Amino acid sequence: MSWTELAAPVPGGTPFRFGVVVDGYVQPAPAGEMFAQGRQNDVPTLTGCNMGEGGASPHPTNSAEAFGRQARQRYGDIADEFLSLYPAPTDEQARTAQNESSWDSERASMYLWAVERGKTAKTKAYTYFWDHTLPGPDADRFGAFHTSEVPYAMNTLELSDRPFTEADRKIADLVSSYWANFIRTGDPNGKGLPRWPAVSEQPGATMEIGDRNEPIPVAEKTRLAFFERYFSKPRPPL
């Protein structure tokens, strides 16, 4: 196939949609169907997202006009509700709304997935929101970008030439302890660590880790309810 055919939108969708491909073998059915039927591999799960991904940026450049246009493209008949929750009449407000809506959308998607999983799972799920900026010449540009938590979770800062500080090393010790505990026991919690509640233990919350290490709301209640309606809408199959 040509690249133009590969990049063509799926019916009712957009180019380059990321998602699990149902192949009838490794993935015998859509994930939602698998969870609803309790057919998933029921193991403890730890998953998260980062402050600098999903459309968020340390220095957003969106304009009010562009933010409104993008909202209508993405949310269609519920765009007005979205824009009432994230008002952006000026460029400055649009940039704030861009980050806030990106954070809320990422955390809500992750949280709502975990809630659906929990309806048939016997094991726990733990979610996180990573907020620490990886130091270096690109720090101001990219912030806490996608995968920037990995060197801390693996406690491998010494393998990089970035200008890590003692504060970075303390974060790595803490975060890698969570990961090691989870690998050993299926629970990230342990002695001397701030308590990380499972999704089922503190509904509506996720664990912020990095600079702050405490549970935070996934999103304000009306915003979370909006994303719950949005993500429950049927999507075209891959």
Domain count along the chain: 1
For the cut 70, the answer to whether the pLDDT of residue 230 exceeds it is yes
Q: List the one residue out of 158, 159, 151, 198 whose CA is nearest residue 175.
A: 151
Would residue 146 count as lying in a domain?
Answer: yes
In a domain, 135, yes or no: yes
In a domain, residue 172? The reply is yes
Q: Which of 105, 82, 106 is nearest to 94 (CA)?
A: 82
4: pLDDT confidence band, cut at 50, 70 and 90?
confident
Q: Residue 52: which domain range? A: 44-57+104-232
Percent of the chain beyond pLDDT 90?
A: 87
Whether 179 maps to a domain, the answer reads yes
Task: Let me know if residue 5 belongs to a domain.
Answer: no
Does residue 36 lie in a domain region?
no
- Please compute the mean of the pLDDT values over residues 159-185 and round it to a whole number: 98
pTM of the model: 0.90
Domain for residue 30, yes or no?
A: no
Q: Determine, yes or no, domain membership for 69.
A: no
Task: Provide the 10 A C-beta neighbour count for residue 122.
Answer: 9
Q: How far apart are CA 122 and CA 41, in angstroms?
A: 11
